[in-house]
Structure 1
Amino acid sequence: MAAILFALTAAFMFALGTQFSKRGLETSDAATGVVIQLSVQAGLYWLMSPFFIEAHFWLMPVVFLFAAMGFFRPFLSSRLAMTGNRHLGPTITSSLSGTSPLFGVLLGIVVLGEELTPALLVGAVAVFSGISLLSWRRGNVKRDWPLWVIFLPICAAFLRAATNLLAKVGMEVLASPYFASLVAASVATIIAWMTSGRHFKVDVARGPAGKWFVLTGICYGTGALSLNLALIRGQLVEISLILACVPIFSLFLGAFVFHEKAITRHVVMAIVLIVAGVMAISLNR
């Protein structure tokens, strides 16, 4: 049960961080936002590192695995997603990006040999049915882009799932979710400064947008640590399915906290399905 609670916490914090990020991007550019939120995330981990990290951790080969996590996500996955968004638009891109939990389930079964029990299967069907309802749009989508572009957001979704696999494997060698989070965030921050630092706007960082991005970094940092805490306690299959709750939390926050969207009938049906799926996954434990 602890794994599921940590995974739900991660999903909620990722959704909340996305809302804060959207506020910051209203008056800022993405490059500045990425640099700020990653720097805050890494900074928080380093502030707490004396309480959780031992010196010999840095001498273990698994540190390179944790470093790869920071390269794949968010650096490489975000750039693939942004390129896909530029060609496909946000609707198709977000729908294809929602395949990340599916990749997580497949990686858990194929690579780690985890079992898809009847309870997990029922939960998976319910969760993916709910996500499909959230992604459904009326009307036909006009295609004016090359077919290969569709693989960009799919590859981004796969990399996000693969990063969770790397975390799971790495923490079996060194059972420190905190160290895994710190190394990944530090590498991602260094890459962000190297690739986007020249576009960093100091005046934006000192304004209202900077405050939103700081909150984003706190949320994403908490979410990433919660996710690693979940992965070390539970199976990749079930954690990946729980992470599919991010859109539900985003909708609730948008409707009731940030007053963005109304809750429609389709959303209610999706919520019922996903909640039922999460309950089925919980019963699996």
Structure 2
Amino acid sequence: MPAELLSADLLPLAFALVAAVLFAVGDQFQYLGVRSLDSRSGTMISIVTSTLCFWLLAPVLLDPALLTQVGILVFAVIGVFRPALSANLSVAGVRHLGPTLSSTLASTSPLFGTALGILWLGETLNWQTALGTAGIVGSIVVLSRRRGGVAADWPVWALALPIGAAAIRSLAHVLSKIGMVTVPDPYIAGLVSFTVSAAVLLTGQAMRRQRPRVLGSRSAVLCFVGSGVAMALAITALNQALLIGDIVVVVPVVSASPVFTMLLSIVVFRRERVSGRLVAAVCVVVPSVIVIALGR
């Protein structure tokens, strides 16, 4: 295989891997922030920070000519529900479940991506995809079991939070791929979607009667600012991977973020309790999404 072809094949995986690491960093910042600030306000801070990051780079990266293309409307539609809705679900999941468990369940996004491919694009279900799906579903079942009948330290319904975020993100991945057909610019894709999301969140915040208690939680605000910076970088890397690679290859690699989340929890933050059940779930989910990718 020529060196040029090898590099072209590995480049999407490299960008996806960078995105996975950055998403894991963002998860850890969110976990630190939600301890003293409600998830809705934290999400708003994070998304507004990401939006500001994109606009600060506009003088260098923005190509105004691309703003007249049809794909811009696709990015705007994405912004209505991602990251506004998906981030709210994700942060709420981190608050109730912790960063490792939440990101592990969020790694079910390849399952939803495969479902969209089958139902929307008419793709077929092969044995590799079926095996990977079974592994993911089995992990969710293991995580939701209550050991010895003793109540877990998180409610079962909270499992739906990161799973719902995963479903929304999968839809956004597909739409981003479609939008970048006419607007092949990962930066603009992030700029438009985050700007729309920020507008949605700020409008909703203005309509709330109870203002967020931000002034008393400066450390939490800084954590969500850090999460926003990490998210902006992660989305840009992810969009670049989607532009030059296939969804069925990129999304499973990005879903490896629980591995990095766990490593950060153990080595850097040293704050999360890692149980054998949790480790087993991560060890099953990650290979399962890889099997799905190989089967495609």
Q: TM-score, normalised by structure 2?
A: 0.75
Instruction: Using the aligned pairs only, state the percent identity.
Output: 33
2:23 aligned with 1:11: no
**Alpha-carbon deviations, 1:71-94, whole Å to 9, x = none?**
1113234556789999xx759x95
* More moved, 154-163 vs 229-238: 154-163
Residue deviations 1:54-80 (CA, integer Å, cap 9, x gap): 111221222111011111113234556
Q: Distance in 2 between matches of 1:158 and 1:15?
A: 18
Deviations 1:16-66 (A, max 9, x none): 111111212222222332222111101111111222221112212221110
Alignment of 1:160 with 2:169, yes or no, is yes
Q: Runs of 5+ in structure 2 lacking a partner?
A: 1-9, 152-156
Conserved 8 A contact 2:253-2:290: no
**CA RMSD between the two structures:** 3.9
> Which amino acid in the other structure matches residue 237 of structure 1?
V
Q: Is residue 213 of structure 1 aligned with residue 221 of structure 2?
A: no
Deviates more, 1:151-160 or 1:25-34: 151-160
Residues 1:58 and 2:71 aligned together: no
Contact 2:93 2:162 in 1 (8 A): yes
Decide whether aligned partners of structure 1 residues 96 and 218 sit closer, same or farther in structure 2, where only a CA change above 3 A counts. closer
Query: For structure 1, which segment, 26-35 or 271-280, has the greater mean C-alpha deviation from structure 2 after superposition?
Result: 271-280
Counterpart CA distance in 2 for 1:29 and 1:185 is 21
1:111: Cα distance to partner? 3.5
Number of the residue aligned with 1:188: 197
Contact 1:42-1:189 within 8 A present in 2 as well: yes
Q: CA deviation at 1:239?
A: 2.0
Which residue of structure 2 aligns with residue 36 of structure 1? 45
1:267 to partner: Cα distance? 4.7
1:260 & 1:175 partners in 2: Cα distance?
A: 41
Q: Is the 8 A contact 1:123 1:278 kept in 2?
A: no
Q: Say if 1:21 and 1:212, in contact at 8 Å, map to a contact too.
A: yes
Show structure 1 runs of 5+ residues with no match. Answer: 143-147
Post-superposition offset of 1:275: 5.9
Total equivalences in the alignment: 275
Q: Relative to structure 1, is the Cα distance of residues 30 and 153 closer, same or farther in structure 2, using a 3 angstrom cutoff?
A: closer
Whether the 8 Å CA contact 1:116–1:237 is kept in 2: the answer is no
Q: How does 1:1-285 map to 2 (within 5 A)?
A: 1-78=10-87, 90=97, 94=102, 98-112=107-121, 121=129, 124=132, 128=136, 131-132=139-140, 135=143, 137=145, 138-139=147-148, 155-197=164-206, 199-201=211-213, 203-204=215-216, 207-270=218-281, 272-273=283-284
- What's 1:145 paired with? none
- Report the TM-score when normalising by structure 1: 0.77
- Residues 1:182 and 1:29: Cα distance change in structure 2 (over 3 Å): same
Secondary structure of the equivalent of 1:27?
Answer: coil
**1:212, 1:273 → 2: CA distance?**
30
Q: Which moved more, 1:243-252 or 1:44-53?
A: 243-252
Offset at residue 278 of structure 1 (A) = 7.2
